[in-house]
């Protein structure tokens, strides 16, 4: 028995040794010609995707460690898209300096890049060619004529296509876009309702039919795939049975709605309410206020209260985060939350536009005897596009509206377009910073104002007889081209809003 055991283990040893010799020979054969596998791009994060202004960087992942300089020198993007590089091992990230222009297709190529360890010419990267495109240039507006009157309309400027989103029975009052543009949040009243405007306005959402690449994992209403979400699908968000729904705002992440509400039974019960997904509306316990806007981080709301602006957390019972007594209104936050455009009402009856940063800087950009209606930060440069008015001479009080661009570094103001003598103008800056929409409203006679109830009206309550939408093409910073002139679009409508 002992002899047989020894023979068994001796045979087993010989087999093991033979296997080791064979494996060693195979490994040697593999190593003899060296590593012949050429480096290549394993993954391109934007391949065949449709990106928007919120998409700020893409990555290239390589199969081998790469010579950084050779990759950065040989990467080509057409049309050009300036950006900066960063590396983490075999992964390269390219962060764009400004949003890619909407309505374009882009080609990404990499030829001639080298392996970081082997400098032979035949070890160049396998030629790579990738592509992506940006979203179509599209906006929504309120129609004023024929079957579009009082309805929300989507216009795809890239495809030259128009779609009416809301039904005939609803007269839209105001609206906001969701972050990816797949839905619109809007307030509307029944056309047959005897009560006008905000007195009976309810909140709804409507789908646009636009398919976003990345849809938030949580949505205010259950999200379905693009095939299941054609344009025009209406969902009720908040009715007006017990409360009048006045102004509202939608958070940047699309998860919170803040509504200014008044009790139908007790007008003294007035304040802000918060709506979150799958929860009942909750009042925000704070002092009543005026205009408000949700901060870019979706965590707080800036509210005009008394003689200042309060920054209130969107949590029940939480204490105010800050109070700015010197300002009366927040017009706009920069997308990253680093700065804001605010208005100060001066004791000499003038108004001042201020740049306020999160570093404590408070810089006066202009002072005017007219009005500061709205402002938006340019995503391409340190500019602020504003809708302003100036007082006209004469016995009758009149304001002349105009569009202007302000350099926030130097404070220099440059008028762009002088508008007709009507202060109720709306403007919208495109997400890629290359287009500015605005409207020109013509109001009806005073007799018509009292006879028509649920028809489109200006912010001052006047009935809108007709309106036209204009687009002002904007040149990229440091462009050598002359400023372009505004172009009237063949769209009878008002309150244009670019989709994200």
Instruction: Write out the DSSP string of 151-175.
Output: -EEEEETTTTEEEE-S-TTEEEEEE
Spatial separation of the C-alpha atoms in residues 54 and 370, rounded to whole Å: 34
E strands, 419-486, in order: 427-429, 435-443, 464-473
- Residue 481, pLDDT score: 64
Give 469's DSSP letter: E
Segments making up each domain of the chain, as ranges: 41-134, 165-325
Check if the beta carbon of residue 77 is closer than 8 Å to that of residue 84.
no
Query: Residue ranges of the chain with pLDDT lower than 50?
Result: 1, 3, 33-34, 214-228
Residue 447 falls in which region: left (phi positive, over 0), alpha (psi -120 to 50) or beta: alpha
Residue 204: name the closest of 223, 222, 184, 224 by CA.
184
Spatial separation of the C-alpha atoms in residues 267 and 108, rounded to whole Å: 60
Check if the beta carbon of residue 177 is closer than 8 Å to that of residue 497.
yes
**The domain over range 41-134 is classified in CATH as 2.60.40.1220:** yes
φ, ψ at 388 (rounded to 5°)? -125, 170
Residue 234: name the closest of 213, 260, 206, 275 by CA.
206
Check if the beta carbon of residue 390 is closer than 8 Å to that of residue 397.
no
- Residue 429, pLDDT score: 97
Spatial separation of the C-alpha atoms in residues 98 and 379, rounded to whole Å: 7
- Residue 17, pLDDT score: 75
Strand order in the sheet with 91-96: 41-44, 57-62, 91-96, 83-88
Q: Is 13 exposed, middle or buried (0-12, 13-18, 19+ CB in 10 A)?
A: exposed
For residue 494, what are the contacts with CB-CB under 8 A and spacing of at least 6?
A: 141, 142, 144, 426, 439, 441, 456, 464, 467, 469
Spatial separation of the C-alpha atoms in residues 177 and 133, rounded to whole Å: 21
Q: What is the pTM of this model?
A: 0.85
């Amino acid at each position: 028995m002992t002899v047989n055991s020894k023979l068994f283990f001796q045979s087993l040893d010989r087999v093991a040794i033979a296997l080791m010799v064979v494996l060693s020979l195979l490994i040697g054969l593999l190593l003899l010609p060296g590593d012949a596998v050429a480096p290549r791009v394993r993954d391109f994060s934007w391949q065949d995707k449709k990106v928007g202004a919120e998409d700020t960087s893409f990555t290239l992942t390589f199969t081998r460690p790469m010579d950084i300089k050779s990759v950065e020198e040989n990467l080509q993007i057409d049309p050009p898209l300036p950006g900066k590089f960063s590396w983490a091992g075999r992964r390269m990230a390219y962060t764009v300096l400004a949003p890619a222009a909407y309505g374009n297709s882009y080609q990404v190529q990499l030829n001639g890049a080298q392996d970081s360890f082997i400098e032979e010419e035949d070890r160049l990267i396998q030629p790579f060619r990738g592509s992506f495109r940006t979203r179509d240039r599209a906006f929504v507006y309120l129609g004023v004529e024929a079957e579009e009157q009082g309805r929300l309309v989507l216009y795809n400027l890239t495809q030259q296509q128009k779609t009416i989103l809301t039904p005939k029975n609803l007269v839209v009052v105001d609206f906001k876009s969701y972050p990816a543009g797949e839905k619109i949040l809007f307030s509307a009243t029944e056309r047959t309702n005897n009560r006008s405007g905000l007195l009976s306005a309810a909140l709804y959402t409507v789908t646009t039919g636009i398919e976003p690449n990345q849809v938030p994992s949580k949505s205010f209403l259950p999200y379905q795939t693009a095939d299941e979400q054609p344009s025009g699908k209406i969902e009720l968000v908040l009715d007006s049975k017990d409360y009048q729904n006045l102004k509202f705002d939608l958070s940047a992440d699309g998860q919170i709605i803040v509504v200014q509400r008044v009790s139908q039974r007790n007008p003294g019960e007035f304040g802000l309410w918060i709506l979150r997904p799958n929860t009942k509306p909750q009042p925000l316990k704070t002092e009543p206020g005026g205009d408000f806007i949700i901060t870019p981080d979706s965590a707080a709301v800036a509210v005009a209260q008394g003689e200042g602006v309060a920054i209130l957390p969107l949590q029940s019972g939480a204490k105010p985060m800050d109070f700015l007594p010197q300002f009366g209104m927040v017009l706009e936050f920069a997308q990253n939350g680093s700065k804001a455009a605010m208005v100060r009402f001066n004791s000499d009856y003038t108004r001042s536009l201020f740049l306020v940063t999160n570093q404590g800087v408070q810089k006066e950009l202009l002072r005017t005897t007219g009005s500061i209606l709205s402002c938006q930060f340019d995503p391409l440069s340190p500019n602020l596009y504003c809708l302003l008015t100036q007082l006209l001479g004469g016995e009758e009080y009149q304001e002349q509206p105009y569009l202007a661009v302000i350099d926030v570094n130097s404070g220099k103001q440059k008028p762009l377009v002088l508008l007709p003598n009507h202060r109720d103008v709306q403007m919208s800056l495109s997400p890629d910073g290359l287009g500015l929409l605005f409207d020109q409203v013509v109001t009806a006679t005073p007799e018509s104002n009292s006879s028509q109830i649920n028809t489109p009206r200006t912010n001052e309550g006047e009935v809108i007889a007709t309106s036209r939408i204009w687009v002002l093409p904007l040149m990229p910073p440091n462009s050598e081209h002359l400023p372009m002139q505004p172009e009237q679009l063949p769209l009878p409508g008002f309150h244009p809003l670019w989709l994200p």
